[in-house]
Structure 1
Amino acid sequence: MNPLKKIRIQGFKSIVDQEFEPGQVNILIGANGSGKTALLEAIGLLSAAMNGRVDNNALQGRGVRLGTPQLYKSAFKGGIEAQSIHLSFQWQDEQRNDKSEYSVTLENSNQSPSAWSYQAEDFRLNDKLIMQHCPSEENGRNNATQKVHFGARHGIGFEAIYRRIENNRLQDFLEALKSYAIYSPTTPALRDLITDITPL
């Protein structure tokens, strides 16, 4: 059973609002321009955000094509344009009966392609808010929640969560996440650039 239960993408490129439940192995098939790469790049952006910093180096290292800020956001005819990008995922550890949820809202200034900022970010364990990123002004103090006040350019990052919370379950969670990878076909036949004449 796949512990990665759900990924949700809102306002990223051609994806207005989409959530899906990934399987153990996922194969994306579709015509050019149908959103396959946008989905993978959104996962790359989510990965960078989870590591506490979103910039050109972090994105490029995860296979996200760099571009001007407006190219990252959803924009369609009729004036529908995303003001920010929201990404989240859910993880279920069946052995421990733990559910982890990470959520982030990102903004990219139209003045600088590398000026990504965190608008909101939180991590929940079994529906309990564990850590919350407050990049702007102080909010009301909540003793049950550790509020982290970094600059708008830096996120919580899972290393910070691990350092601040004495919870071996988080270590198992982080180790399990490392086993996931995105494979990109490089052969001309798999990329539909030539006809494969090899018989099955």
Structure 2
Amino acid sequence: MDVLKKLRIERFKSIYEQEIEFGSVNLLVGPNGSGKSNLLEALGVLSAALSSGLESTTLDIKGVRLSLPHIFKSAFKNHELPKTFRLEAHFEHGRYDCSIRSGINSQFLEFATEALYDGDAQVFGRSGHGTRLHSVAKDVPNFDKSLVPSTRSVWSVIEPLVRISAELRAELDEFSKFAIYAPQTAVMRGLAIDQRVVEPLGLTGSGLATALATTERRDPIKFRNLMKIVWEPGWADMIRPGAFDPQVVPSQVRSEGTVLYIRDKFMKGGRNLLSAFDASEGTLYLIFVATFLAHNLTPQVFSLDNIDGTLNPKLVRRVSRHLIDAIISAEASDKKQAFMTSHHPSSLDSFDIFDSHQCIFVCSRSSENSANGGGQTTFRKLLPPKDMTKEDWTLKHGARNLSELMLNDRIPGAL
């Protein structure tokens, strides 16, 4: 089951007005600066709203850039500067929407309006006239609506006290854990420390050795299956966490208590162990992806920004296939929903666009001569023509894969 079915975005950064329906695995492709990361950050802001609110600390642990508050709103030439931006999320069993304001001199984002619906029944509403509890009013008769700060969501205050359907509560809970992950080589090598405390893995790869160790102990079979991707480059045949060994690890490495060691199968015994500091950055990225997918505390809904990372074209294709297989084939209790960005054509080749659970979105910005004044981000789902079969598709395109079509400019806007 996909947690987030549809998202409507209005006046958020380069996205002026878009409505997007998602699948289980969602890949965003398009030119630099086209707005791919803006969509991920809209999801991050929405998740922050449902977890505790719009304070900078909450946005930060979601992976949202801490821009000046007014930067979050669109500012297109041919449009008046908006007072708010709006996000509307459709889940399987309900809907949540909010509009958020920020002036040029604002120090933080604030809620202007909020509403939550359990099915068709409104749970609460918030506007400039105050907050009104609807279907749950009887649960909290003495609720003091004036005590909800403008940066705090109503849901984060009333959530422990009210009764809504178990299905919607589970969806809100899972989406509130969403975060944007972007592994950084310096952090995984131990040369930099990400101060944000996020479990099981930091947003940029901190805590990788510890997460790997706990994953292997908890579910060794699942761990081994997901770790198969790590052996793809062909030089490593063992990975293990361990204590800091000054004979292997340079003194400038910040170990965070546990160090990752990787064995090079081509080297002599006694000289065949490398720490994360000396391992290839591509291998570190593969270890991150495998550990992230295997860990039981990984969020059910997550984003990986730039899945191509530092990988060569073959590995980009393999890691995207690895992610798709892990998510699509997971048991119901372990189902996940992923949002990914990539600049590499090979990332498209693992997707089956005839499967509604696997979605590719081409992200682009309108031209200066367009009716809306130009610069607005659009998301176009890559779909085969109606009633076309896979066999027809193969014949029409001469068995060429999606990366070839993209490079030959047969996927408009992707480059």
Normalised-by-shorter TM-score class: 0.7 to 0.9
Match of 1:182 in 2: 303
1:102 and 2:100 matched = no
Residue 125 of structure 2, aligned match among 128, 132, 141: 132
Gaps in structure 2 of 5+ consecutive residues: 138-142, 176-298, 317-341, 345-402, 404-415
Match of 1:164 in 2: 162
Match of 1:115 in 2: 108
Q: Which amino acid aligns with 1:173?
A: E
Contact 2:29 2:343 in 1 (8 A): no
Contact 1:104 1:122 in 2 (8 A): yes
Q: Paired residues, what number? A: 186
1:42 and 2:36 matched = no
Deviation of the 1:57 alpha carbon: 1.3
Contact 2:118 2:168 in 1 (8 A): no
Contact 1:6 1:21 in 2 (8 A): yes
CA distance in 2, matches of 1:101, 1:143: 15
Specify the SS of the correspondent of 1:163: coil
Contact 2:97 2:114 in 1 (8 A): yes
Specify the SS of the correspondent of 2:27: coil
- Report the more deviating stretch, 25-34 or 170-179: 170-179
Taking a change above 3 Å as real, the CA distance of residues 192 and 89 of structure 1, as seen in their structure-2 partners, is: closer
Q: Which amino acid aligns with 2:60?
A: Q
Q: State the TM-score, normalized to the length of structure 1.
A: 0.79
Identity rate, percent: 28
- Report the more deviating stretch, 114-123 or 37-46: 114-123
CA distance in 2, matches of 1:128, 1:172: 17
Once the two structures are superposed, the pairs formed by residues 1-200 of structure 1 within 5 Å of their partners are: 2-92=2-92, 99-112=93-106, 114-134=107-127, 136-138=128-130, 144=135, 146=137, 148-149=145-146, 150-158=148-156, 160-165=158-163, 167-177=165-175, 178-184=299-305, 185=307, 186-187=309-310, 192=343
Taking a change above 3 Å as real, the CA distance of residues 51 and 107 of structure 1, as seen in their structure-2 partners, is: same
Specify the SS of the correspondent of 2:95: strand
Specify the SS of the correspondent of 2:38: helix
Q: Which amino acid aligns with 2:123?
A: I
Detail structure 1 runs of 4+ shifted over 6 Å in the superposition: none
> Which protein has the bigger strand share?
1
CA distance in 2, matches of 1:28, 1:138: 38
Task: Report the aligned-residue RMSD.
Answer: 2.8
CA distance in 2, matches of 1:88, 1:143: 19
Taking a change above 3 Å as real, the CA distance of residues 117 and 143 of structure 1, as seen in their structure-2 partners, is: closer
Deviation of the 1:176 alpha carbon: 4.5
Q: Which amino acid aligns with 1:128?
A: A
Taking a change above 3 Å as real, the CA distance of residues 172 and 31 of structure 1, as seen in their structure-2 partners, is: same
Cα deviations by residue, 1:81-111 (Å, 9 ceiling, x for unpaired): 222011011111xxxxxx2100111112321
CA distance in 1, matches of 2:34, 2:164: 43
Q: State the TM-score, normalized to the length of structure 2.
A: 0.40
Taking a change above 3 Å as real, the CA distance of residues 173 and 68 of structure 1, as seen in their structure-2 partners, is: closer
CA distance in 2, matches of 1:175, 1:151: 21
Deviation of the 1:24 alpha carbon: 0.5
CA distance in 2, matches of 1:20, 1:143: 28
Contact 1:131 1:161 in 2 (8 A): no
Q: Which has the higher contact order (CA 8 A, sep 6+)?
A: 2
Specify the SS of the correspondent of 1:27: strand
Gaps in structure 1 of 5+ consecutive residues: 93-98, 194-199
Taking a change above 3 Å as real, the CA distance of residues 60 and 78 of structure 1, as seen in their structure-2 partners, is: same
CA distance in 2, matches of 1:127, 1:67: 35
> Which protein has the bigger helix share?
2
